[in-house]
């Protein structure tokens, strides 16, 4: 099932089927963040993690209140661009510095195999929180500033 032009629900179901109530938040994440990033860079986004059951989240070393354990109000996905997998900082900086991209949280995570970006979307709040650290919560995160959503881009 297509969520948007370039994203299918199966891309977000690495850890099992997504409950129907999570389709709307994942569609919003795609529309408001992932599609604009894909268009800007002109290449597909590789989704490494999307919806997780509580058990799958624990196995992935996710925090107890992870937005990967999506609800009708929020969701999260981890992803990268193949051409930039070794260094996703330019993408992270673009997201956190753009008032036109809607997100709750963006995290640049560094791993042995390359960088990934964790992004979340929320219907109920929009913290525009930007963090950086190691994959699988292996280190404490560093907080980065963002441009408020109301600022001019």
49-84 pLDDT tens trace = 999 999 999 988 888 889 999 999 999 999 999 999
Average pLDDT, the chain: 92
Provide φ and ψ at 94, rounded to 5°.
-60, -45
pLDDT value at residue 61: 82
pLDDT at 152 over 80: no
- b/e code 110-139 from CB counts within 10 Å (16+ = b): beeeebbbbbbbbeeeeebbbbbbebeeee
User: Which region among 73-77, 115-119, 132-136 has the lowest average model confidence (pLDDT)?
Assistant: 132-136
Q: Residue 29: name the closest of 99, 142, 139, 123 by CA.
A: 123
Mean pLDDT of 23-30: 98
End-to-end CA gap in the chain: 33
- What domains can be seen in the chain, in order of their start residue? 2-144 (3.30.1380.10)
What is the enclosing helix (H) or strand (E) of 41? helix 35-41
Helices (H), 42-104: 54-59, 89-96
Mean pLDDT of 84-102: 96
Are the CB atoms for 82 and 90 separated by under 8 Å? no
Q: What is the pLDDT of residues 36-49, one digit of tens each?
A: 999 999 999 999 99
Q: Residue 78: name the closest of 12, 8, 3, 1 by CA.
A: 12
Are the CB atoms for 26 and 51 separated by under 8 Å? yes
Mean pLDDT of 98-113: 95
Q: Of how many residues is the chain composed?
A: 153
pLDDT value at residue 136: 63
Global confidence as pTM: 0.91
pLDDT at 147 over 90: no
């Amino acid at each position: 099932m297509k969520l948007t032009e370039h994203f299918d629900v199966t891309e977000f179901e690495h850890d099992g089927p997504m409950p129907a109530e999570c389709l709307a938040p994942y569609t919003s994440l795609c529309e408001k963040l992932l599609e604009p990033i894909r268009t800007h860079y002109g290449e597909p986004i590789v989704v490494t993690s999307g919806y997780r059951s509580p058990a799958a989240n624990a196995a992935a070393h996710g925090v107890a209140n992870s937005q990967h354990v999506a609800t009708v109000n929020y969701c999260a996905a981890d992803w990268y661009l193949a051409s930039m997998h070794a260094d996703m900082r330019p993408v992270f900086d673009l997201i956190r510095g753009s008032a036109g991209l809607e997100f709750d949280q963006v995290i640049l995570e560094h791993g042995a195999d390359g960088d990934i970006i964790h992004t979340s979307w929320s219907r109920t709040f929009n913290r525009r929180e930007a963090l950086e650290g190691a994959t699988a919560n292996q280190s404490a995160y560093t907080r980065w500033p963002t441009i408020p959503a109301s600022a001019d881009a």
